[in-house]
Chains A and B, each alone.
Chain A
Amino acid sequence: MRIHRYIVPVMAAALGALTILSDRAAIAAPVAPQTVVAGEVLRGHFVQMRHLAGFTKPLKSEGSFVLSPGRGLIWHNEKPFNSTAIITGGGILQLANGREAMRLSASKLPGLAQLYGVLSAALSGNTGPLQQTFAVTQSGNEDGWRIELKPLNPNSQAMSQVKGLVLKGSRYVDSVEVERAGGDVDRIAFSDHKASKADLSPEEAAQLKAAAK
């Protein structure tokens, strides 16, 4: 991973002004996700499709997300309705019209910590901590990388709903698929990733701070 990060600027320099290559060409065949480290912020767009048993159509929602590794994840739903959830290791804070609508502590709902763990690991590309709770299988081909997660302890309360996860990406994560007990499947597709040095808006910073309280 470290070599990989080194190669990108070198190649970019070598190729210089000759031609502008797409990102895809420049990173040829990544076998592991690009990492976003503490101090950086990753933004992007998501589309979530939930295929629930007994439902005639999948539940589709979309919006934008902001990940600040180590601090939290802001999940901003735009369709079918507006809502914001700020997820941290300590719990989840739900905002409606900018005001606190619901706050759940991770100590009350053990699954929450896992949810944050998986999402922040998938988005930041730092899958190391997941190995404590999942059997992690990582593979890659010219199209990108693929990580499969199986719960190490399927009987635990936090894992009782999850049968397995598949994360796929070319550079950053492009999709997360969650297979649940009872036949439900959630698919989240990510696009328009933008990683940058901390540029949290004051509002976002305030939201993350409020959630960490």
Chain B
Amino acid sequence: MMRRLGAIVWILAILAAVAYLGVRLAAGVPLESNILALLPRQEHDASVQLASDRLADSLSRRFGFLVGSHSPEKAAAAARALVADLKQSGTVTAFNSTVDQDAQHKMGAAYFPYRAGLLSDADRTTLEAGHGYSLKDRALSSLYGVGGMADSRLMARDPFFLLPSYMLSLPASQIKLAVDGDLLTARNGGVTYVLVSGDLSGAPYALDFQKTFHKVVADAEARLKAATPDLTVIRTGAVFYAHDAAQEALDETSMIGIASLVGTLALILIVFGGIRPIMLDVFAIGSGILCAFLGTLIIFGQVHVLSLLFGVSLIGISVDYSLQYFCEYFDPDAPDSETRLRRVLPGLAIGLATTLIGYCTLLLAPFPGLKQVATFSVIGLSVSCFTVMLCYPLFDRHRPSEPGNRFVRIAAAHWRLWESRPLRILRVILILGLGAAAVGGITRLHVDDDVHHFQSLSPELKQQETDFARLTGTPAGTQFLLIRAANQEKLLQKEERLQVRLSGLKHSGAIGDFTAITQFVPSIARQKENRALVRDRLLAPHLTGYLADIGFGGTPDYPFPDQFLTPDKLPDAGPFALVKLLDVSGAGEAAHVLLLEDVRNASAVQAATAGDSAIRFVSLADDCSSLFGKYRRYAIALLALSVVLMFPLLAFRYGIFRGLRVLAPSLLAVVLAPLIGALVGIPFTFFNAMALVLVLSVGVDYSVFCAETGGSRKPVTTLAIALAAAGTILAFGMLAFSRVFAVHAFGMTMLIGIFIAWLFAPAAGDSATRRPR
């Protein structure tokens, strides 16, 4: 009666949870798809974190199209139409692909009052060398030159045209692009490409935003291609990758979920016959997954698509518990539901406990993503297991099957492999073969932590990105120096000293180029120097003669004000928007990001900045990679920890020696899976290490089930674990076919590891030494 009440309360609780989940889902599913969101925050260096966060956020919001056609007019028209569509959709905050007339004007206006202190590097060098006359000659050649770029108004306010010279020396992006009216264009192979680029108004990794943006672009592209058949659209930006990744992950989740569910149910239908086991099974799995989803949503506020992907694979594990129960149908000694439950209960309890230990170690990882996967799994598996324990006896009306079922007969062979004396030679061959494979694998095992390999998804998008960079000459920079000082002025001076070394690196080819705030705003000290140079080496010796030469009547208005240009005086327009982005100063400290482009010799950059702890070379991709390396080692430590935590439980139940035997098959699987994987060319990554944590906890279940059985029940147990392994391989093995590298690596390791753990599981349960219960 108590049991019946417990079952009813449990069912009501699950129904309530499902109803609440429905309410939550009706309000929209907050799904996250950025693989980097799975990574922990680098709390050890807050300013690097702020800088990389701001930079990463800003870079991830950027997008670019090159709209190309053999007809320049059609390309321009298509580009304008695309801009109009994007503008109307509200998915874009700002376009930076048109030549912003106003920004140029604002830039000039901001610099103009301080022009006497603004010198290009070349002009400063000239004046320092005392060659003021060559600046005079240059001014003359501008005045006399073709088309007269220098006019009288400028002449009267900047007689040697030093400000235009300074402004032309500023770093300019999009170097390969030509200005055509208000558009930026590139030509290649007879095709004219028009640039359309800007910033997104939403987060590129939010699925809703991705969907909207993608639809606007797809619609516009289809319409424009209908009008201009030879139109090509090259795209670049995180949003396209993110959309591709999210689409992929979602497609795979539903495909893998459906495939493993259908496969598992088909297995149950074939082996057990009848619709009731299927209904019960769906109930156990479904209650687990729905409650896990709800729990994750409540705890984390959102669900990452990768958690969902791994979580859905729970189907393969949670079905193990039902299978243990159903297999008792074939045991003639367990005629009723009470007996069946009593017989499987110890196995289920220990199996669940060891699996939970495995997943709970994941919770210890300072990885937001892993915590999610672990939470999802712990909730899902516990709920499924309790559903089996509490509810199955209530609905089970199955009569014991006839003895001699053919599936039981086949499964019995599995056990014979480990018991039969004549098969000893086969066992030796098997073990030697695996040993040989392992030794072969050792030589080929290599570790891979490169984040580029993990998220390189669509080769087509990658190609488009490369084309974009080649045509526009703008490589996407994710490498930078982070420079700190007590205040802005000190920082600018530090940057100016650094700039000399960086120019050397640029000259030697170690870096392609760099962009620093000090290129837009010299330090006050530098401005003072510049003013002195202009006054003493240019105006004093050359102005009078120069004005007489050209016949200029008045006195030029070239002031030396008390004030100096400082970063806060720059408007947030045009290239100055970059200055605002690169300034990551916090309270009590000034900090700037100095962008490096095309770093070809990272150690040269390291060497140039060594010895100054206030300058840090940051490479976002490398940092992520080293992080993945760190967490790969972390995962292996978790694996060891799992073993250490599981063993007391097993030793308590089976004694130390048999406890070790129960652990042995899983440990063997954990060691062999990466080595055999290496043999077929799979590198060892963080994701493989994570898979091994699961191989251990799932594999121990199989051994525990085998250790808990005995006598005539042995074939029934091997049938149960064979079905369980088949279900797990159906679920995780499917992941091996994923295009997402991380998921693929995970799947392959599971596939190999689970197979080995299953194959060796009966070796854990030697009937001769089994303790009678």
**A interface residues (Cβ-Cβ under 8 A, vs B):** 48, 50, 52-57, 59, 61, 75, 77, 80-81, 83, 85, 87, 89-90, 94, 102, 104-111, 113, 115, 118-119, 132-133, 155-158, 161, 178, 180-184, 186
B146 and A107 within 8 A (CB): no
A107 and B151 within 8 A (CB): no
Contacts of A77 in B (CB 8 A): 141, 144-146
Residue from A55, A81, A156 within 8 A of B552 (CB atoms): A55
A62–chain B nearest beta-carbon distance, Å: 10
Contacts of B155 in A (CB 8 A): 52, 54
Q: Is B143 an interface residue (CB 8 A)?
A: yes
Q: Is B153 an interface residue (CB 8 A)?
A: yes
Q: Is B180 an interface residue (CB 8 A)?
A: yes
Bound form: Cα–Cα A73–B156 in Å: 30
A107 and B179 within 8 A (CB): yes
Q: Is B570 an interface residue (CB 8 A)?
A: no
22 contacts between A and B (CB under 8 A): A50-B144, A54-B156, A54-B553, A54-B554, A55-B553, A56-B552, A56-B553, A57-B551, A61-B144, A77-B145, A87-B146, A102-B138, A104-B168, A107-B177, A108-B168, A109-B168, A110-B179, A113-B180, A133-B181, A178-B147, A181-B151, A182-B153
| Given A183-B152, A186-B148, also A83-B141 (CB < 8 A) | yes
Given A48-B144, A57-B551, 10 other A-B residues pairs in contact with their CB atoms under 8 A: A52-B143, A55-B553, A75-B145, A77-B146, A80-B144, A85-B146, A109-B149, A113-B178, A156-B181, A183-B152
B578–chain A nearest beta-carbon distance, Å: 16
Bound form: Cα–Cα A156–B172 in Å: 20
B27–chain A nearest beta-carbon distance, Å: 49
Contacts of A118 in B (CB 8 A): 147
A182 and B152 within 8 A (CB): yes
B596–chain A nearest beta-carbon distance, Å: 22
| Given A55-B152, A186-B147, also A156-B174 (CB < 8 A) | no
Contacts of A157 in B (CB 8 A): 99, 101, 104-105
Bound form: Cα–Cα A75–B149 in Å: 14
Residue from A56, A94, A182 within 8 A of B141 (CB atoms): A94
Contacts of A52 in B (CB 8 A): 143, 151-152, 155
A8–chain B nearest beta-carbon distance, Å: 31
A48 and B149 within 8 A (CB): no
User: What 1/0 flags go to B585-603 for Cβ under 8 Å of A?
Assistant: 0000000000000000000
Bound form: Cα–Cα A141–B148 in Å: 30
Residue from A53, A81, A104, A113 within 8 A of B152 (CB atoms): A53
Bound form: Cα–Cα A110–B178 in Å: 9
Q: Is B175 an interface residue (CB 8 A)?
A: yes
The 9 tightest CB contacts between A and B, nearest first, are A52-B152, A56-B551, A53-B152, A61-B144, A75-B146, A57-B551, A115-B147, A182-B153, A157-B101
Contacts of A85 in B (CB 8 A): 145-146
Bound form: Cα–Cα A87–B147 in Å: 11
B390–chain A nearest beta-carbon distance, Å: 72
| Given A89-B178, A90-B178, A107-B172, also A59-B101 (CB < 8 A) | no
B129–chain A nearest beta-carbon distance, Å: 16
B147–chain A nearest beta-carbon distance, Å: 4
Q: Considering only CB atoms, which chain B residue lies closest to A65 in the complex?
A: B146
Give chain B interface residues in 174-221, CB to chain A under 8 Å: 174-175, 177-182, 184
**B interface residues (Cβ-Cβ under 8 A, vs A):** 99, 101, 104-105, 137-138, 140-141, 143-149, 151-153, 155-156, 168, 172, 174-175, 177-182, 184, 550-554
Contacts of B552 in A (CB 8 A): 54-56
| Given A54-B553, A110-B99, A157-B99, also A59-B143 (CB < 8 A) | yes
Bound form: Cα–Cα A105–B184 in Å: 13
Contacts of B104 in A (CB 8 A): 157
Bound form: Cα–Cα A119–B148 in Å: 12
Bound form: Cα–Cα A183–B151 in Å: 9
Contacts of A107 in B (CB 8 A): 172, 174-175, 177-179, 184
Contacts of A80 in B (CB 8 A): 144
| Given A56-B553, A81-B140, A184-B152, also A156-B182 (CB < 8 A) | yes
Contacts of A87 in B (CB 8 A): 146
Bound form: Cα–Cα A178–B147 in Å: 8
Contacts of A108 in B (CB 8 A): 168, 172
Contacts of A94 in B (CB 8 A): 141, 145
Bound form: Cα–Cα A104–B168 in Å: 8
Bound form: Cα–Cα A186–B99 in Å: 27
Bound form: Cα–Cα A110–B174 in Å: 14
| Given A107-B179, A110-B179, A161-B151, also A55-B144 (CB < 8 A) | no
Residue from B105, B146, B182 within 8 A of A48 (CB atoms): B146
Bound form: Cα–Cα A87–B174 in Å: 21
Bound form: Cα–Cα A184–B137 in Å: 21
Contacts of B178 in A (CB 8 A): 89-90, 106-107, 113
